[in-house]
Structure 1
Amino acid sequence: MRLNRMLLSTTLVVVALVIQVSVLARLHLPGAVPDLVLLTVLALAMVYGHVGGALIGFGAGLLADLAPPSDHAAGRYALVLCVIGYLAGLVKPENGQLKSATGPMAVVVAAAVGSTLLYAGVGALVGDTAARHVGLGGLLFSAALYDLLLAPFVVPGLMALARRAENNPLGESGTSAKAADVSSGWLASGTGLRIGSQRGMRVKAARARVARAGRIKGVKRL
């Protein structure tokens, strides 16, 4: 990843994690907690693509695993967000801009449900049965509802910020290519003028030598 992507992604993930731990987690809402870190990963993944989404998801999940008051094994949420970030990055369009809000909202709902299921599945493998006691159905519904309500205030703004901070290598290469074409054109035209002028001078010099030789021969004949 490029330096500007890393700096922006790190800043946004840290801010989202701080807000989630200090504000959203203390609302004591029924069911799941609104996942601002997940929404941040989704927004960046839909701009940077699947590779960037996977890297950002892994880093964000690892920070969430280590941040207090975490009560699960480190690496569990990192795996979840890495997979979710990779899959979300696959819906990135060619120009990096989505035409409507339907696609991102569908991605948010699918990511909320998928991350909850994957988190519960990984927990079941390591012996964590908390999802069974809380109720998996309630967790899925509340996670999708909270993230969907929060997404319009988070995802579009973060995507716009990521696109604005993103460098435009195509534009730069196009500009450099145009500059190269212009410079090569100037060089070609200048070289053609020099070659033409040199040829003209050589022809004139040859004609002058022929004329002088003719005059000298005429004098000798006389």
Structure 2
Amino acid sequence: MSDPSVRGSSPARLVLVAAAVVAALVLQTTVFPHLAWRGVVPDLVLLVVVAAGLARGSHHAMVLGFFAGALLDLAPPADHVAGRWALALMLVGYVAGQVRREAAPSVGVCLATVAACSFLGSSVFALSGLVLQDSAASIPDQLGVVLVAVVWDVLLAALVIAPVRRVRHRTQTDRLARR
């Protein structure tokens, strides 16, 4: 049986999602390093994957997470073994998509999902670095980085969720009015 979230994926929607990933990647690697807090920047690509999971479900978000993570793994200034972000964001997509299965998420649920997914994604990335001996940082140092990343991601999500939900509600209302 096919996943209902996969049906209805128009080429325009795919282009829009790809553009969102590329825009997030460019901002994350060029603009946000200048705003780093304790050397950590918000993970915009992770937020796009979480949004996809909440909007479209696990299957969609896992595929997006894999490809977005692979781009993040290969984009300069990447200094780690490729595949670590792909794995982390694929798991993030799965978790965010499972939240969507339960109900239409409220703002509070969205923020809690961002916090949980940010912790999961950052932790998987950090732990995979330890396992692969790809990181010189100690576990306490990495835990500090993970916690700062969660704070960054939740703060940024709080600024973005309300306007995006208003626009989405407005476009859905317009679409229903045209019928």
* TM-score range normalised by the length of the shorter chain: 0.7 to 0.9
* TM-score, normalised by the number of residues in structure 2: 0.81
Among all aligned residue pairs of Structure 1 and Structure 2, give the percentage whose two residues are the same amino acid. 37
Give me the whole-angstrom Cα distance separating, in 1, the residues matched to 2:86 and 2:162: 24
Q: How does 1:23-172 map to 2 (within 5 A)?
A: 23-93=31-101, 97-98=104-105, 100-132=106-138, 135-158=141-164, 164=171
* TM-score, normalised by the number of residues in structure 1: 0.66
Q: Residues 142 and 7 from structure 1, CA distance in 2 versus in 1: closer, same or farther, beyond 3 angstroms?
A: same
Q: CA RMSD in A?
A: 2.6
What displacement does 1:159 show?
5.9
Give me the whole-angstrom Cα distance separating, in 1, the residues matched to 2:139 and 2:77: 20
The answer to whether the 8 A contact 1:54-1:85 is kept is yes
Instruction: Structure 2: give runs of 5+ residues left out of the alignment.
Output: 1-5
What displacement does 1:154 show?
2.7
* Deviation readout 1:125-182 (Å, 9 max, x if unpaired): 21123341770231122111111111022345556667859xx9xx9xxx9xxxxxxx
Give me the whole-angstrom Cα distance separating, in 2, the residues matched to 1:134 and 1:18: 29
SS state at 1:118 partner: helix
The answer to whether the 8 A contact 1:39-1:154 is kept is no
The answer to whether the 8 A contact 1:46-1:159 is kept is no
What displacement does 1:4 show?
3.0
Q: Residues 49 and 91 from structure 1, CA distance in 2 versus in 1: closer, same or farther, beyond 3 angstroms?
A: same
SS state at 2:57 partner: helix
